Amino acid sequence: MGIYIIKSRDANGSPEDIGIVLEGQRVLQDLDNYTLAAAMLFGLMYTLNLTYPLEKYTFEVL
């Protein structure tokens, strides 16, 4: 689970796409900004009652 941000090579301006991935599938895309994506991710975690074993899936910055 996580948030992805796709930027163009020149990287000046806004990202091309911001979205959310759950279990390897894009569930939300074309979000306006990172803050909205973070709020939506926590909302999805709460709504879907996602519980993962410890250390199986963690937040990671690449």
pLDDT, tens digit, 9 for 90 and up, residues 15-62: 899 999 988 899 999 999 999 999 999 998 888 876 665 665 566 666
Q: Structurally, how many domains does the chain consist of? A: 1
Do the domain assignments include residue 27? yes
pLDDT at 1: 85
Do the domain assignments include residue 33? yes
Structure tokens at 9: 């090579």
pLDDT at 18: 95
Contact 50, 35 (CB under 8 A): no
pLDDT at 54: 64
Do the domain assignments include residue 17? yes
Do the domain assignments include residue 21? yes
Q: Is the pLDDT of residue 9 over 90?
A: no
pLDDT band at 3 (very low <50, low <70, confident <90, very high): very high
Do the domain assignments include residue 61? no
The span from the CA of 22 to the CA of 3, in Å, is 9
